[in-house]
């Protein structure tokens, strides 16, 4: 899966190479000359040479086109080196393991459709740890730009993907589950409004839709295709998404584990209480939890103004750490995502019962569950002990992440 050059970049590289070849140097010397350029982005500026008409997805194809029968291992090595320099200079695009192994197949996406979703997600922004999201992307040259990004010479192919007849004809997947078209604001500022080049804006689905035996399949516009139980995998899946490339079945969460003192105010009594990281507070306070986990201030404000339920937040964290949420890679981002959908919604039973417990009792239950199969923890006497073990399992390494989010440390002191 060698990353391709865009059509524009391929044409620019070909133009530069062609100029050197016309000057009388060999193909190997021309490639060495391009490799010697200090700023690789200079190679991506075309001097106006006309396209060759042949496919040029990589530097290797460009070199092979010009070398013909004289193409050698040395030329191939130089071309590969140049291709890697160009690709690496443009940064990384993170694709989740779940998207590659499950989503593409289960949603019948063609390779070009899958790549357009990937590029759109890269153009958008998701910080799974803080909950900050920018989900709207704009292609200023519309279908034509989108076609160029996936290596297609026909913008009408991309246009057809958004036609309901596309999926009915079994020609590929329903890309509108991932890209939901929006009205472009201030179209009067764009001089070109032809069908192929008029600007188009889309809301991008940054979360992976679960399969039919999971919880919920969520389209880019926020609607549900089908629902069997509550659930929504985060983009880090790990997800593209989270766009940090964490593993599918792990709950990696990087938080500040330094001991800090935080102060919160009870919403009813107005009393202050102090809490050291890693200890149970006297009561749950959503603002304190957000601050403890460095949630983006704009997201904090949005959820607090919506009177989001702190019990719902705690419940979704526990759900994400349970066997039912085993496909969720980022419990904090997932819980925030669910609160933004429904500020007072509850996950499946019995997680809301756990969230209604005093924090000290919930910490006791979390601490009673070993991380590994043969690790021993002292059993606790609690009315919900049996229910807890049934919901969380006899051992559960993911509870360390829940403890870190809720209490400030992943391990017991």
The one-digit pLDDT tens for each residue of the chain (413 residues) are: 567 887 888 888 998 898 899 999 999 999 999 999 888 888 887 655 555 566 678 899 999 988 889 899 999 999 999 998 888 886 777 788 888 888 998 888 988 899 999 989 988 876 666 667 788 899 888 898 998 888 787 888 898 898 877 767 667 888 888 998 887 765 555 555 567 788 889 999 888 876 544 444 445 554 444 332 223 333 322 233 332 333 333 333 333 333 334 444 444 434 444 444 457 888 899 999 998 888 888 888 889 988 999 999 999 999 988 988 877 778 888 888 888 888 887 777 888 888 889 999 998 888 888 877 766 666 777 888 888 888 888 888 888 888 889 988 655 44
> How crowded is residue 226: how many other Cβ atoms within 10 Å of its Cβ?
9
Q: Is residue 222 part of a domain?
A: no
Residue 277 sits in the same domain as residue 389: yes
**In terms of domains, do 299 and 358 share one?**
yes
How far CA 210 is from CA of 7, 19, 49, 89, 131, in Å, comes to: 34, 51, 47, 34, 20
Number of neighbours of residue 302 by Cβ within 10 angstroms:
16
User: Do 191 and 273 lie in a common domain?
Assistant: no
Each residue's pLDDT tens digit, 315-332: 999 998 898 887 777 888
Task: Mark whether 107 and 23 lie in a shared domain.
Answer: no
- Indicate whether 107 and 51 sit together in one domain: no
- Tokens coding 226: 């089908």
Count of residues in the chain = 413
Residues 287, 186 within the same domain: no
> Do residues 155 and 292 share a domain?
no
Paired tokens of 324: 């039912």
- What pLDDT shows up at residue 80? 92
**Does some domain include residue 165?**
yes
HEC-encoded secondary structure of 121-180: HHHCEECCCCCCEECEEEECCHHHHHHHHCCCCCHHHHHHHCCHHHHHCCCCCCHHHCEE
pLDDT at 398: 84
Q: Are 206 and 178 in contact (CB under 8 A)?
A: no
User: Which pLDDT belongs to residue 220?
Assistant: 54
Dump pLDDT digits (tens) for 268-280. Answer: 434 444 444 457 8
What's the pLDDT at 279? 74
Q: Both 42 and 103 in a single domain?
A: no
* Structural domain contains residue 223: no
Same-domain check for residues 335 and 399: yes
In this structure, is residue 104 part of a structural domain? yes
* Residues 179 and 282 occupy one common structural domain: no
Rounded to whole angstroms, how far apart are CA atoms 228 and 201? 31
DSSP state for residue 81 in the 8-state scheme: H
Scanning 23-102, the segments in alpha helix (DSSP H) are 27-35, 59-67, 73-89, 97-98
269 within a domain of the structure (yes/no) = yes
Spatial CA neighbour of 81 closest among 39, 34, 42: 34
Q: What is the pLDDT of residue 395?
A: 85
Half-sphere exposure of 31 (CA within 13 A, CB side): 26
**Alpha helix (H) ranges present in 192-330?**
286-292, 297-305, 310-321
Which residues fall within 8 angstroms of residue 276, CB to CB, at 6 or more apart? 259, 260, 261, 408
Within a domain: 401 = yes
CB atoms within 10 A of CB 52: 15
Domain for residue 131, yes or no?
Answer: no
Task: State the residue range of the domain holding 81.
Answer: 7-89
Residue at a domain's end among 184, 204, 224: 204
Q: Integer distance in angstroms from the first to the last C-alpha of the chain?
A: 46
* Statement: the pTM of the whole predicted model exceeds 0.95: no
Tokens of 286: 């959503």
DSSP summary character for residue 323: G
What is the C-alpha to C-alpha distance for residues 62 and 183, in angstroms, rounded to an integer?
A: 39
Residues 102 and 59 in one domain: no
- The dihedral built from the CA positions of residue 119, 124, 125 and 131, taken in this order, carries a sign that is negative
DSSP 413: -
Pick from 119, 93, 91, 115: which is nearest to 103 by CA?
115
246 assigned to some structural domain: no
pLDDT at 372: 77
Asked whether residue 40 falls in the same domain as residue 141, the answer is no
The domain tally of the chain equals 3
């Amino acid at each position: 899966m060698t990353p391709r050059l865009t059509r524009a970049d391929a044409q620019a590289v070909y133009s530069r190479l062609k100029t050197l070849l016309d000057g009388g140097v060999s193909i190997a010397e021309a490639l060495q000359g391009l490799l010697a350029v200090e700023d690789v982005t200079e190679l991506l500026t075309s001097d106006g040479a006309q396209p060759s008409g042949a496919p040029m997805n990589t530097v290797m194809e460009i070199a092979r086109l010009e070398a013909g029968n004289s193409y050698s291992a040395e030329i191939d090595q130089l071309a590969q080196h140049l291709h890697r320099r160009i690709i690496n200079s443009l940064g990384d695009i993170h694709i989740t393991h779940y998207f590659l192994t499950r989503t593409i197949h289960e949603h019948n996406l063609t390779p070009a459709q899958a790549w357009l979703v990937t590029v759109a997600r890269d153009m958008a922004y998701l910080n799974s740890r803080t909950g900050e999201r920018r989900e709207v992307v704009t292609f200023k040259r519309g279908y034509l730009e989108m076609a160029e990004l996936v290596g297609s010479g026909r913008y009408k192919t991309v246009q057809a993907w958004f036609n309901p007849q596309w999926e009915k004809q079994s020609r590929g997947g329903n890309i509108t589950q991932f890209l939901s078209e929006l009205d472009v604001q201030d179209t009067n500022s764009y001089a070109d409004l032809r069908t192929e080049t008029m600007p188009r804006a889309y809301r991008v689905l940054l979360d992976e839709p679960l399969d039919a035996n999971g919880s919920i399949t969520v389209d880019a516009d926020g609607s549900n295709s089908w629902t069997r139980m509550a659930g929504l995998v985060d983009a880090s899946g790990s997800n593209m998404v989270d766009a940090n490339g964490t593993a599918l079945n792990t709950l990696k969460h990087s938080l500040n584990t330094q001991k800090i003192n935080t102060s919160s105010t009870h919403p009813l009594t107005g009393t202050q209480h102090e809490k050291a990281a890693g200890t149970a507070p006297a009561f749950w306070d959503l603002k304190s939890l957000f601050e403890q986990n460095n949630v983006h201030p704009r997201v904090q404000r949005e959820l607090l103004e919506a009177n989001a339920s702190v019990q719902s937040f705690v419940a979704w964290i526990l759900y994400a750490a349970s066997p039912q949420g085993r496909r969720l890679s980022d419990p904090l981002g997932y819980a925030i995502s669910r609160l933004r959908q429904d500020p007072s919604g509850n996950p499946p039973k019995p997680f809301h019962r756990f969230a209604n417990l005093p924090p000290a009792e919930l910490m006791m239950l979390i601490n009673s569950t070993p991380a590994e199969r043969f690790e021993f923890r002292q059993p606790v006497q609690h009315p919900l002990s049996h229910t807890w073990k049934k919901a969380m399992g006899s051992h559960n390494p993911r509870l360390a992440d829940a403890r870190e989010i809720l209490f400030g440390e992943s391990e017991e002191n």
